Every structure is written in structure tokens, then in C-alpha cells.
Structure 1
Amino acid sequence: MGFLREIFGPSKEEVWQELCNQIGGEMKGGFWGGNKVEIRVKEWIIILDTYTVSTGKSSTTYTRMRSPYVNRDGFQFAIYRQGFFSEVGKVFGMQDIETGDSEFDRNFQIQGNDEFKARELFANPKIRYLIQQQPSIHFEVKDDEGWFRASFPEKVDELYFQVTGVIKDVERLKSLYELFAETLNQLCHIGSAYEDDPNLRL
């Protein structure tokens, strides 16, 4: 076991448990690699887990972070590094948006369904800083696609991050957690989210 750890480094479970220890999260899940981390921020719950997509002979594992919240006004956005996934938002009628921060706009593509709201969201310098700390990022608001449907009403959307591979870097995971917490607070500040438990609002 020590030999394998020396080659591959600490396991996902070890790293994620250390994350829980540092920020007060809770590790949940089954024995066969189904572990996830749940972190509470005010009334919101942020969920960190992995999932695998199989395509014939190969499979790809993704790390994702999600947090359901009540979307007051239907505001949606997607942000990723320039050159990646650049046509996706346009399919859903979203427009390209610039923040006015020239360096940030050079490195990141933002699409959204409300330019004014997007500018308000990304006017927050801490959000821009935390995004810049991620070597790769796909961060968005997306419709609840059924994962939470048994518990939450229809107006609940997800703040959603996804990246290829398993993140086993505690500092990067902490930065992602901070990004979610700051974004949820900013969404409240601009009137696009409620500071409520989504379970309690109909």
C-alpha cells in the first residue's frame, strides 16, 4: 500500500477527508468509490463528487462541484477558458459578454442570458481572482436536470463546476469552495438568488 501511495500519491479519499478537516465538510457515500463531500455555506449545501462516463472501450472521470439554489430571475451564465467549449452557450441563446477587465476577458469566455447581471456578478474582484486560480474551468448555472428533483421545486437551479480528471489538490479544492461561496453570496447581492434553504422555498 505504501509503495502504491509513493507512486500515485495520496488517494482521493485521503485528500478529500483533509479538505473536510480544513473547511468543516462531511464525507459521505459508499464503500465502492461513491464518496462525496458535503459542505454547508449559510443555508446552501455544496456537493463535491466524481462521476465516470464510459464510451465503448474507454472511460473518462470528471470532478464536479454543485450547489442547488433558488434562481429568482432565471439568470444563467457559463464561463470557461478561451478556446474551450466556445459554441455551447450560443446554442441556448446566450450572448458573449465582457467584464471590462481586459486581462480577464482575454483569458476567459463568458456567456449569459443577461449582460447586465453578468457584469454585476463578475464585477466582484474576488470571483475573478478565484476563477483565475483554476488551471481549467467550466463554471455555470444550469437547470436542475433531475438530480435533486425528488427534493427541490422546479425553480431550483445548480451552480455547477466540472473538470476532466480527479482533483487531488487540497488548495485547489479549497479555492473552488471559496468560489462557490462567493458566487452564491454575489448572486444574492445582485438579486438572482435567495439566501434560503432550497428545500423550504416553494
Structure 2
Amino acid sequence: MGLFGPSKEEVWQQLCQEIGAEFVEGGFWKGNKVELDVGEMTITLDVYSVHANNATHYYTRMRAPYINRDGFRFKVYRNNGFAFMRRLFGVPDIELGFVEFDEKYVIQGTDTGKLTALFASATLREQLTADPSVWLEIKDDEGWFATKFPEGVDELYFSVGGIVKDIERLKGFFSVFTETLQQLQKIGSLEKGDPGVVLQ
């Protein structure tokens, strides 16, 4: 127990005990992480930092590589009230027919039918709206200086500012990811199998 409450490591180790995940020590060069196996896929929770303007900013993130059967991708994030600016620059929002969800979130994707089927899960919509900071996207890979994915492998991804040590909030993150992966499989966009990716 530190001066300002339990450390990230203590909270994350307790989280692992409660959800059946594994706490992986990163050693000197790499940070610690939490890994939860969902079938042949792994959801990874960790922290990364960005150095800007003589300061270090920390972010908590979750990632889950998977085999993308049809190339379906999307991005869903909280509406900040500037939808008109996105439309001005040619980035249309998609309305799915779930009124409260459509009002609260900006929804973009490659297939409106797939998006509607994905978020037809009331459980997923409720889990997302429970924490306004949570947004989701499917990424191709992690850029020039990070993990490269094999052909046909994409990643469910999100990050949030700060180091999250609220165990119930962390459980919520895992619930969102688990439900999303299950729904992606249900709509035919996720193929069962090992994506063959080891996240750094």
C-alpha cells in the first residue's frame, strides 16, 4: 500500500484473481500487463507513455488481435458536440436506429449492416455507455515502431488517459472487449483461431 492508496500492480494483481487473468511482469524495459484469454485470443491491458512538451503523459489501453474474416472495421466514440465539423470535412456519422446510443456516440465504419448487427447487443451498448471514456476501434496494426500484424489480422483497441486503478472500472473494460469479440464472431467478422500475434 503506497502513500496514495494501492499501487497499480496491487490493483491489477487483484483484478487478475477476480477475473481469472494472468499478471505478466514486464521486467526492467517493459511495463507489467494483464492478459485474459478469450478462446484462442488474448485481451491485453497495459500502460504506455507519450512524451510531449517536456512532460510524460500516461495512458491505459486494451488490445485484442483477432483474425478479421471480412475486413470490417469501425470506430465508436463519445459525441463531443462537434458532429457538424466532421460532416464539414466529409466524415459522415452512421445512425444505427438505437436512439439513445446514436445520440451519445459518433459511429463510423465500413459496413452499416454489420455495425447495426454488432450494436444490436443491448449488453454491449449498456457496457459502453456505463463509462463515457471508453471508445472502440478496429486497427490494422500498431504503426512503424510497434507490433506488425500478419495479413488478415486486425486489433480491437482503445486507450484512456491516465493510469486506471479502479478495479470495477477495469472489469468494465474487459466486459466491453469480451462482449465485442463475441459479437464480432456472431456477425461473421471474427474467425476463431490464434491470430499469431505477440503484443509488445
Structure 2 length-normalised TM:
0.87
Cα–Cα, structure 1 residues 177 and 148, in superposed 2: closer, same or farther, change >3 Å?
same
* SS at structure 1 position matched to 2:193: coil
- Please identify, of 97-106 and 11-20, the stretch whose mean Cα deviation from structure 2 is larger: 97-106
Is 2:18 aligned against 1:13? no
| Corresponding position of 1:124 | 121
Distance 2:177 2:142 in 1: 19
Give the corresponding residue for 2:78. Answer: 81
Whether contact under 8 Å (2:96, 2:102) holds in the other structure is yes
* Aligned counterpart, 1:185: 182
Could you tell me whether the CA contact under 8 Å between 2:140 and 2:154 is conserved in 1?
Answer: yes
The Cα shift of 1:119 comes to: 0.7
Q: 1:90: Cα distance to partner?
A: 9.7
For residue 102 of structure 2, what is the aligned residue in structure 1?
Answer: 105
Residue identity in the other structure for 2:117: E
Alignment counterpart, residue 37 of structure 2, candidates 16, 21, 40:
40
Whole-Å Cα distance in 1 between the matches of residues 7 and 87 of structure 2?
Answer: 35
**Partners of 1:94 and 1:194 in 2: CA distance:** 29
Partner of 1:166: 163
Cα separation, 1, equivalents of 2:79 and 2:115: 17
Between 1:43-52 and 1:105-114, the stretch displaced more is 105-114
Q: Could you tell me the TM-score, scaled by structure 1's length? A: 0.86
Q: Does the 8 A contact of 2:46 with 2:61 survive in 1?
A: yes
Task: Sort the Cα spacing of 1:88 and 1:161 in 2 relative to 1 into closer, same or farther, 3 A.
Answer: farther
Report whether the alignment pairs 1:61 with 2:58: yes
SS at match of 1:97: coil
Runs of 4+ aligned structure 1 residues displaced above 2 Å come to 84-91, 145-149
Deviation per CA, 1:176-197: give whole Å up to 9, x if none: 1111111111101111111211
Give the number of equivalent residue pairs. Answer: 193
CA separation of 1:94 and 1:160: change in aligned 2, threshold 3 A? farther
Q: Distance in 1 between matches of 2:125 and 2:15?
A: 23
- Read off the aligned partner of 1:103 and give its amino acid letter: E
Q: Per the alignment, do residues 88 and 185 of structure 1 end up closer, same or farther by CA in structure 2, a change over 3 Å counting? A: farther
Give the counterpart letter for 2:46 in structure 1. Answer: D
Map 1:149-160 to 2 at 5 A: 149=148, 152-160=149-157
1:138 lines up with 2:138 in the alignment:
no
State the 1:199 CA deviation. 2.1
Deviation at 1:84, TM superposition (A): 7.5
What fraction of aligned residue pairs are identical, expressed as a percent?
52
Give the gaps of 5 or more residues in structure 1: none
Residue range with higher mean Cα deviation, 68-77 or 93-102: 93-102
Q: Distance in 1 between matches of 2:81 and 2:8?
A: 26
